[in-house]
Structure 1
Amino acid sequence: MTIPVLRASSPPARAMLRPENRKRSRRGKKGTISGPRARHLSTSGSTLLELRIPVLESDAPDFLVFVNARSKHTTSLLYREGPLQAEFESLVKRSTAAWKRIQPEYAERGTFDENFSRNATRLRYSMSIQEVIYNRQFWFFQLRDSFLNQKTFRKWDPSQLDHYVLLPLDYGFVNNADCVFVSHYWRTKDHPDPHGIDLDQFQRDLGMADGDWSGEWSFIWVDWTCMPQSPRTPDQKRYFRRMLRCISMLCRDCCMSWRFPDFRPRAWVLAEIAEYCLTHRNHVVTDDNRKFINHLQEMVVFGVRPVLEKYDYKCTSESDMRLVTGWLELDILIAQLLPGDHNVEYVQQILDIINRPYVGSYQVQPLDNMLIDKAAGIITYKGVKHHFTPIYDLSVDS
């Protein structure tokens, strides 16, 4: 089946760097700092000035300072030659090579190839992992061998890039043949699983010698390992907030693995289970996800908020609770308006388009009578308006 084209409209986007003419800075004499060289970068919506300031101590890094000419906002991107830069270049090559092996099951081949070319160019012209974080267009996924051979969950670390591959946000790259999403409770505030109890179970589930599953997956996403953790730099905070709002895409497009030793009313876990159950033809019911699924069924009848309040679902962050509530309401509305007779892959792609941070509203094709406005929290379908908690935040999503 050919996936219908979705027309997207969005609020003005933050300026995007166009690095095709980017050149690396030269080094002068040791112990001096050369004067910054400035040039304009072509952008969408505003002008950026790039000030390249090489620091010339033998062990000091270079900083690329980007200045928005309108807002005067500056961002420093660390650039260092040496082992860390070699790891980054290896990460770029490893990532683009992995994309070539992906056979998009649902995305149109032509669209995938176009997205491949654009993302490969963007990544190859990035000068450091800090620039990748600043641009917020790629997921970090841990490599299979790294996951299976660790004793405890590895904390996200941008200086240990050999454990990762980068996958674009665009539809089709993250897929349930190559990618696994891990859902679990955090055992402590400072570490999700300090003694490796849950990790041991996941490793057994996902491919150790006595494992129960023979899937040939390649990459895995664990929040502690694949998202910046505290303390975060300003750019890491921006990356974290942006990608947190896209978690639904991972739950929907990855193969999912979960471990819940007892029931706890964790709103994020409920949202992850909802994406798994509501956007697939079939789902597995186990003793540890059964209550969450029962609560989703109650939400279809009584609404999302009454059920969340009834079972006292919580997020650590109040802003997260609003986001989770909005996504639950939207998922259930889509499931009700586009029931099982619609192509599941089509529904998945619709939701992936909605998830794109820079998309505020769009008309779904060929369903000309469906308009989804996630900024206002309204789905208009066949002339009827259906409301959900707005999930677009200009300060984060632009």
Structure 2
Amino acid sequence: MEVKEIKRSLLFSLELANRGKKKFLDELWEEYKKALQYFIDRGFAEEKLPTYEEVKNYPYQTWLSKRYLGATLVQAVEILKSVFQKKKRGKEVSKPEVKKVNLKLDKRFYRFEKGNNSFDFWFRLRDPEGQRWVSFPVKNYDYAKRYFDGWEMALDIELLMKRNGKWFLKLTFKKRVELKEKQPRGIDIGYRKLLALSDGQVFGREVKEIIEKRILPKKQGSKRFKKALHFLKTEINRILKQAIDGTFSPVLENLKNLKRGKRRKWSRLVNRRFNYWTYSYVLKRIKELCEVAGVQWRIVPAFNTSRSCPQCGYVDSANRDREWFHCIRCGYENDADVVGAVNILQRFGREPIVPYPAKPPFMENKCL
């Protein structure tokens, strides 16, 4: 059993505020962005991280307080650390240009309080010029309610402008959970079927059709294209919540560099299809669902899981013909993705540190 602290971030709209308060946010954002860019420019030019002395000697006339300037300094240092690490590894880097910046603020800058009227909460932000608190009404929503009830809110918040210039508040919640080992099941994540489990269950056959009929015909960047992408993400989440129910410990394969060396081998259409096969997102969501359910997950190497016979162990690319698996040595047949999931489970079972059998019960009898 593993004890882990998990975090989740949720967005809350600030659009219920009046025009004057939203104008205050716009002006704060512009001044904050200007200061952030200044500290990045100084650090990049001098090839060192800026210090608080830069705050004291800030050269521009500003209505930001020293506290706000200090917050921009901390954010600039985080950005520059990443840039300098890349440069240290020999990569070419250019000076970061601030465009869409989130305001990262700690407890000194805000208050978040329960409302006592028609609004669920009040977000109060310190005005750096007048030293007053500017109040913004916040509405709760059903999905967020459980986080306020059973989770602890982190001290740091983010103000972010997105979605056509509208303002949102990003709150982060944290919770300590116990991740328990349960009966393992192998999971093969695929394109034609989103999930195939080692017990034979299959989820998400409709994902392929969504990509090919809803997304590919749309013009990239159009409203309909973005709407189709949102629909795909929603469907993937729905399918994963149905499959990852907390009754077993998922065993997943570690797929990396899927497209390496394939650009010239795959057709243009196949490349476009795989652009929307969001393996990394699916893997991330499975882990998150396991954390919420309190179950452990495991990762195993992906080498030959789709070409190995789970009965006799014979490995050959000829064993698989698209979605069907037929071992050319022993004749074993099954859905190719289910075979991959069984092999993933068996690979996990062969690890000496794991007290599980090498094969699931329904695969005990080997072929003659």
Q: TM-score, normalised by structure 2?
A: 0.27
Which structure is higher in strand share?
2
TM-score, normalised via structure 1 length: 0.25
Higher Cα Rg, which structure: 2
